Structure formats: C-alpha cells, structure tokens
Amino acid sequence: MISLTRRYHFPASHRLHSPHLSEAENSRLYGKCNNPFGHGHNYVLELTVAGELHRETGLLVPLAKLDCFVAEKILRLFAYRNINVDVPQFAELVPTTENVVRVIGDLVRQHWAESFGDLRIHASRVQIQETDRNGFELLLSAPEIETLAAQRNESVMVHA
C-alpha cells in the first residue's frame, strides 16, 4: 500500500474558553490558553493521501492540485486568522486542536469527491502539530466514508 503525506504550515490564533463552564473553571482548565485576548501558534498540518498510483504518471495525486485544494478549502479559512472569530465552525465550538483537526477532517471529506473524484485515491489521515510537542491525529478510514459524505452532499443539495 502506498500513501503520500504533504505538510502545510499556517499561523493562527485562538482562545480556549467553554461557555458551559464558569470563568474560574475555564481559567483552571485551560490555564494560559484561556487568556481573554487569545494567543497564536504556527500550526503544521499533515494530509495523507492513499490509493492507487497512476500508472502512466507515477503520481498518487498531482501536487499542485492537492496544494490548491488545501489552500482553497482549509488554509483560506485558517491561515493568519483568529479561529474563534473568523472560522464559522467555531462560533460555538471550543477551538482546541482536537476540534480543529476534526473540523479540518470534515472539510476534507466534504470537498474531496468534487476535487479528486476522478482519481482512485482517498484522504486517509489528518494530523496537526499545535507546537512541536503537541500532535493530534485523525484517521479517515476507507473510501466508504467519502461515498457517504458525497451522498450527504447530494441530499443537502436536494434540500437546497
């Protein structure tokens, strides 16, 4: 089995604060990350693509196409942004890196088929380093998930 992993870098700020907890509880739980003004990280995102190598070109995926996908669907939302303020998914969601990796995983699943539906590949893993010391990894197993996501998109479009 073969996979390709591409690393992307994006600076962003966030503040960890749960509306379900008191000020004191938030402060105790999140410590420095609860600073009301927020703070930033140089996040490192890894996206892993697995599947069949294109026989003629020796590529799993044209890199420019993958870079374009990540730039448009993910980095445009997160890079040089305040995640709490600027990314709609975090209007009511605490931007822990667990939640950031989950939201990015959802974005990848949601948009994958429209960009890469013609290739026999799937996104198999999203990993984010918040700092050199903290890493968060989400495995996106099996193409069935993309199929389900595609079906979900279809039904959403029908409703619209």
Partner 1 sequence: MLITRKAEFSASHFCRAASLNDDENRALFGEEAHLAGHGHNFVLEVSVEGEPDPITGMIVDLKDLRDILEREVVAPMDHRFLNYEVEPFAKVIPTTANIALEIWRRLEKQFHTPKFRLARVRLFETPDLYVDVVQPAAA
Site for partner 1, rule CB under 8 A: 1-9, 48, 53, 56-60, 62-64
Provide, rounded to whole angstroms, the least separation between the CB of residue 86 and partner 1: 25
Our CB check for partner 1 shows the closer of 56 and 132 to be 56
Q: Quote the CA–CA distance of 26 and 33 in Å, as a whole number.
A: 9
Provide, rounded to whole angstroms, the least separation between the CB of residue 60 and partner 1: 6
* Residues whose CB is less than 8 angstroms from the CB of residue 10 and which lie 6 or more positions away in sequence, other chains included: 42, 43, 45, 75, 78, 79, 80
- The 10 Å Cβ neighbour count of residue 140 is 21
Our CB check for partner 1 shows the closer of 5 and 35 to be 5
Provide, rounded to whole angstroms, the least separation between the CB of residue 129 and partner 1: 12
